[in-house]
Structure 1
Amino acid sequence: MSIQKKISSESIKDLRNKTGAGMTDCKKALTASNGNIEVAIENLRKKGLATADKKSSRVATEGLIQSYIHAGSRIGVLLEINCETDFVARQPKFQQLAKDIAMQIAACQSVKYVSKSDIPKTIIEYEKKIELEKDDLISKSDDIKIKIAEGRVEKRLKELSLFDQVFIKEQNITIEELIKQHISLLGENIKIRRFERFLLGEGIESKDNNFANEVSNMIRAK
């Protein structure tokens, strides 16, 4: 027969600070895990994700526009993140979430869409075509070729999706899981509606290229 470990108030407070869950839920989770805080966090997260799924269909029209400028002012991000009420939009946890996600977008240069479901079918078909025509698949059978290509395309789609990125501040969860945690903690649906990343000089030809074109045009004029 196992001996139940006594749960201290310090452990409950520590778990509450790490998860944002209620005191009663924290005590229950620690009791169930016999004081193992990592197991308790995992159990609360699982419970929170289930709760978040129930709220995901609610309309979210409040929220905020969050900006992030990286050190050196060469990368910037604008993000619109929505919740259900202005009350939650003013909460420090929601505002910190917005800052963390904006910073994540700045760090993930390949991310272009909120989730895989937002990626246009034309992009998916293009990626499939590229993979199926790669040299290392030419000699393989059609079944094997398709299977390998699908795996590679899935990996590529995850690279394009913000939700599939590993949270840079907590490597054991994705951005989608981070959002769901906050839905559970704040009790409202949370949606990332849109974002835009700005890179200094993006889309502008370099001065050297412009100068080369000028010289070329002058030569032709003669």
Structure 2
Amino acid sequence: MKISIHQINKLRKLTGIGIMDCKKALTLTKGNIDEAIYFLRKKGKEISITRSSFQMKDGAVISSVNADYTSGTIIGISCETDFLSKSHEFLNFLLELSKKSLNSFSKEGFLESFFSKKELVKDAIFRKMAIVKEKLELKIFERVDSPFVIDYTHNNHKISTLIGFSSKINKSPARNIAMHVTAMNPLSIDEDDIPNTIVEKEINFIKDQIKKEKIRSEDIKQKIVEGKIQKFIFNNTLLNQKFIRNNKINVKEYLNQFDNKIKINFFKRVKI
């Protein structure tokens, strides 16, 4: 059966896949568009299986918030090469997925949701695999719901942050704080939230350092431990960190300039 240019172009428009692959799919399915689409999706699934031994060390993350700034997501797709992870095709696809992810509440639910009227997200990812010839996988799905949510993705698409505030705040300072979290990677919001295990580990590390200095006085040792642990907590808790855009004030002081009643409920920072 001879396959027409019109059929090939129609399939290419529907799938975004190259001319030769579309022609092959139509030839094998005797010109049936629906069967050809299924064939190409199956081909994408075969890429997932045959490339499973590749190390999934590359990819990108992106964040999005909904129209009223009450929900946000971070998603991350892994691929096989750094070249693909930086390409416009890959990043545009990631952005499309990101916008769709705002309607989902879990990774599993997102994969089973609709990317388009006739295609699930998981199938759209399989289809894209057939186009780019690399294994793609949804590795990250994080969601934040709060009275006000802001997001920030670093321009290299390797780090994304979401912050949930207790009430509405001007987007500019909110995003500045999201940028701060992205850059400074705090362990928690304040000293009350920092895990005890982390504090204990740091205390043991400080004590080991003191032993090497051969300090005899127990009072001096205790004061050194207290001082160093306080510095550690201040350097690693968001509200106490020096604000990245003005190191004369901390993040809490910066936030209070706009609203001294507003609180940061939580944040999520993802780095790949």
Q: TM-score band (shorter)?
A: 0.5 to 0.7
Determine whether 1:73 maps to 2:20.
no
Question: Structure 2: any 5+ residue segments left out of the alignment?
Answer: 149-163, 168-272
Structure with more strand by fraction: 2
Q: What corresponds to 2:141 in structure 1?
A: 195
Indicate how the Cα distance of structure 1 residues 189 and 166 shifts in structure 2: closer, same or farther if over 3 A, else same: same
Q: What corresponds to 2:36 in structure 1?
A: 40
Determine whether 1:171 maps to 2:118.
yes
Q: How much does 1:191 deviate?
A: 2.6
Indicate how the Cα distance of structure 1 residues 33 and 18 shifts in structure 2: closer, same or farther if over 3 A, else same: same
TM normalised by structure 2 equals 0.48
Q: How much does 1:177 deviate?
A: 2.7
* Aligned equivalents of 1:48, 1:76: Cα separation in 2: 29
Q: What corresponds to 2:23 in structure 1?
A: 27
Question: After the TM superposition, which residues 42-191 of structure 1 pair with which residues of structure 2 at under 5 Å, given as runs?
Answer: 42-109=38-105, 111=106, 114-115=107-108, 161-163=109-111, 165-173=112-120, 175-191=121-137
Q: What corresponds to 1:127 in structure 2?
A: none
* Aligned equivalents of 2:166, 2:60: Cα separation in 1: 34
Q: How much does 1:36 deviate?
A: 2.3
How many residue pairs were aligned?
152
SS at match of 2:102: helix
* Alpha-carbon RMSD: 2.6
Q: How much does 1:100 deviate?
A: 2.9
* Aligned equivalents of 2:87, 2:166: Cα separation in 1: 43
Q: How much does 1:107 deviate?
A: 0.1
* Aligned equivalents of 1:27, 1:171: Cα separation in 2: 22
Q: How much does 1:18 deviate?
A: 2.4
Determine if contact 2:40/2:127 at 8 Å carries over to the other structure.
no
Per-residue CA distance 1:72-127 (angstroms, 9 max, x = gap): 22221122222122211133332233123322331013x2xx35xxxxxxxxxxxx
Indicate how the Cα distance of structure 1 residues 204 and 88 shifts in structure 2: closer, same or farther if over 3 A, else same: closer
SS at match of 1:15: helix
Per-residue CA distance 1:176-211 (angstroms, 9 max, x = gap): 3332222222122223222321222389889xxxxx
**Residue type at the aligned position of 1:75:** S
* Aligned equivalents of 1:172, 1:194: Cα separation in 2: 21
Indicate how the Cα distance of structure 1 residues 17 and 93 shifts in structure 2: closer, same or farther if over 3 A, else same: farther
Indicate how the Cα distance of structure 1 residues 170 and 89 shifts in structure 2: closer, same or farther if over 3 A, else same: farther
Per-residue CA distance 1:15-56 (angstroms, 9 max, x = gap): 223223332221122223332222211122122212221113
**Residue type at the aligned position of 2:54:** R
Determine if contact 2:104/2:113 at 8 Å carries over to the other structure.
no
* Aligned equivalents of 2:85, 2:76: Cα separation in 1: 12
Structure with more helix by fraction: 1
Q: How much does 1:60 deviate?
A: 1.9
Matched-pair identity in %: 31
TM normalised by structure 1 equals 0.58
Q: How much does 1:170 deviate?
A: 4.0
* Aligned equivalents of 1:32, 1:204: Cα separation in 2: 55
* Aligned equivalents of 1:94, 1:88: Cα separation in 2: 6
SS at match of 1:73: coil
* Aligned equivalents of 2:134, 2:79: Cα separation in 1: 6
